[in-house]
Structure 1
């Protein structure tokens, strides 16, 4: 039974940031479901939002984040994000991370939706995530053990503390890893939908494990749908970064009509939920949607990743039109944490998209995700280092599962789950459709609520996790009887401020109670 100071589940920017900071003093291991570069961080095109421009300030960045988040953000955590972000960015640069520079050798700043100024730092044009992950992997090399192709299936809880994780290997055998501190950094749940920008490995596993372990979760109804995925042969084939619209591209219909004109003051750079709903409605009418890039000179130089993606799918950039479709992109909710990444379970941390720090509110501001991973990855590491003398939990009473128990479950396919979520818990929701999804999930969920899961195959476990998280999102969406940010109810199309206030009071009280126990 391998034992470590810190066990990290996931290999995105939040995981690698924490691992690097911790590994100088502690024994750290990273477990990842697929390959170490399979993460949403690696796919991030836009960049890192940071108030470093001469005409910018953290106060302005804070305002933009709160407005985009429909003021559902936890302001203390959000303020911490935007205030400390620039210093962590400077540390990255000092450690050798190379960002794109302008002619004067200053950081080149891009602009994206709902930002009031240019503040997006990027690398390799539209390859920021990949460049950042490669940089961090190089930093942790020879310092952190990374186990690939091993899926975490459940957290090990003993005496109300998290002391380890059980995993399933590529060959469907099980392992257990024990640690003084366990960090969930598994990403979000975009893979629950038919169209998504997420890496194929992202299916809500961390959320499902935390739920089964009894951790508190929050805001799961808030799912951000990115307006522009490449749309070829009825499939979403990858992200077309918002930075393209930041450089002047516009969304048009088949007949050339400007879809965002007069819809919102920021038009094509309106908040993502606004743009996604406009495109969704246009496509419900049977029309195709395109991103007109004809006004961007040297597109291939500015956006090499997108150019290669389009060309690989047979889309010719020189024609000036890229077919697009909205798709699931980011989960604002997750495992409830404080600003140090601590969850409601002793010994368990959550960081990155799997966590609900409250910084994104009801709708994430573009390019705040890599920023969150960097800032809170550091803060989690700081907290653990400050607690490193903590007594190691007693592992003798940890419960292990019966390896010879082989339950027979009837489970839907991944495609069926994605269709159910897309049709009933998607961009536009209603009580009727949410109930359809909830009842459908519960017919399967009741099979495994009390069953042992360790003898299932990895594919079966993924289905179990998707069903669990799909049910959690649908039930959360049914409870929120208003429209706010990434959660839009056609039966409650306007924000119900009184209902929102009551929910916030309950949410704040629950958070304060949880944090008082730590």
Structure 2
């Protein structure tokens, strides 16, 4: 038999956004965090660059606002950006007051870095290039709630149009139902759907698929940011080389020493990420290797211990001053459509962090705004939920332990096959022909026939693949809708864009009149 538990708040995911709101709610709500891996594995832990905030002398929120809008190709929701940059310094100060050890100089002044498309030094670091790891350790040490690891969320429980809980599979392969007044998606992005990525391998778009089947609106899924500099050698990606390295003067060069960004953009190597990534990819497509020249950076090992460690694992000697790099899937600007408080159009369902989309990043996220987003909007959702009175959830569900999942003989692709198709046809450059091929390839596997009523017939692996294929299909559908190039979405058949004029924002929502029937996926443009 399976266990049935009642919690006020169920949080799916264990990154920065999840733990920030979990800590805020823990004193007033019954909170449970579910993570399919461990609390120490998330994109937040891997974050190197730092947190952007206008806390330095001569800096101002209006400058941070303008940089965010410019990087986002002016496709951002202005109110969301203003909230981010105005409230960011406030929440950063609260973390500092609590003892979060941001890096400082001998005088006790914050060491502020500079990254691409920022006009000021405003990037706060902790532990050099280990900001995410230091921040997450800090939060974990202060956490006083129940965290269940190895619990994979398979689908959301709906009572009509209201979300009232989640269905999970635990380490023993048994199904569990958790009911809640509030279900919060904090599952991160979808970089794991690509061959080369900065993301943790567990980040594969689960939250997007869950929200879609529940009827939540999705926005801007076509905007996928590719980080220009992943350490890449011998056909293998070893990890991220932070943009902070270029902020300290590193230069992208060919094998012959030619700087590749010299005449491409006024900011050269610190141009917006989509521009730098496409330029590098152009050289790679022509068979050239691109290197990041770090020879001018003094005390590199002390400033960038995480990157130094990655280089050692890849047998790259930093003394040579050249790091081989390639672009990799990094951050999804789109996601589950929310307001400023993380509320979706589905009652009882919320989204925060990378899985959410309130428009703050526009078509291309500004460097180091992601950790700030997780901190700011998680706190705003916490404020909203703390203002709600406790409710009594009377939903009762039972399901037998998985007994014979093998009787469902779905033919599904391997994760590697999915990654190959996404990288080739839905990567840095897209075209209608390639996107249609990828869409039809995904549809071959009949994943849209998933039926929650018979969820016990599926294996865990099948259910994970169904969610991956669903997320891929949604990204492809969005990319086909946008017949222009903008930010992280570059159409080789529509290469020109105008920042002052753009196509309409698209919303995709599942038309699920009866969730007990097989799900038919229909993209809706509005």
Q: TM-score, normalised by structure 1?
A: 0.94
Give the gaps of 5 or more residues in structure 1: 508-518
Match of 2:266 in 1: 265
Matched, 1:61 2:64: yes
Q: 1:93 aligns with which of 81, 92, 96?
A: 96
Match of 1:303 in 2: 304
Q: Which aligned pairs between 1:246-325 and structure 2 lie closer than 5 A?
A: 246-325=247-326
Q: Which aligned pairs between 1:127-138 and structure 2 lie closer than 5 A?
A: 127-138=130-141
- Separation (CA, whole Å) in 2 of partners of 1:9 and 1:34: 11
Q: Does the aligned pair in 2 maintain the 1:5–1:181 contact within 8 Å?
A: yes
What is the deviation of 1:348? 0.8
- Separation (CA, whole Å) in 2 of partners of 1:114 and 1:455: 50
Give the gaps of 5 or more residues in structure 2: 508-526
Distance 1:127 1:497, change over 3 A: closer
Q: Does the aligned pair in 1 maintain the 2:179–2:393 contact within 8 Å?
A: no
Match of 1:105 in 2: 108
Matched, 1:30 2:33: yes
Matched, 1:5 2:19: no
Q: 2:491 aligns with which of 476, 489, 492?
A: 489
Matched, 1:176 2:163: no
Q: 1:117 aligns with which of 95, 116, 120?
A: 120
SS of 1:500's partner is: coil
What is the deviation of 1:232? 1.9
What is the deviation of 1:220? 0.3
- Separation (CA, whole Å) in 2 of partners of 1:45 and 1:445: 39
Q: Does the aligned pair in 1 maintain the 2:174–2:401 contact within 8 Å?
A: no
Distance 1:332 1:394, change over 3 A: same
Q: Spell out, residue by residue over 1:203-232, the C-alpha distance to the aligned partner (whole angstroms, 9 max, x if none).
A: 111111111111111100000000000102
Distance 1:294 1:182, change over 3 A: same
RMSD: 1.7
- Separation (CA, whole Å) in 2 of partners of 1:58 and 1:447: 45
Distance 1:176 1:59, change over 3 A: same
- Separation (CA, whole Å) in 1 of partners of 2:499 and 2:293: 37
SS of 2:444's partner is: helix
Distance 1:79 1:314, change over 3 A: same
Q: Does the aligned pair in 2 maintain the 1:481–1:499 contact within 8 Å?
A: no
- Separation (CA, whole Å) in 2 of partners of 1:440 and 1:70: 31
Q: Spell out, residue by residue over 1:88-131, the C-alpha distance to the aligned partner (whole angstroms, 9 max, x if none).
A: 00110111111000232111100000101100000000000000
Distance 1:419 1:453, change over 3 A: farther
Match of 1:395 in 2: 395
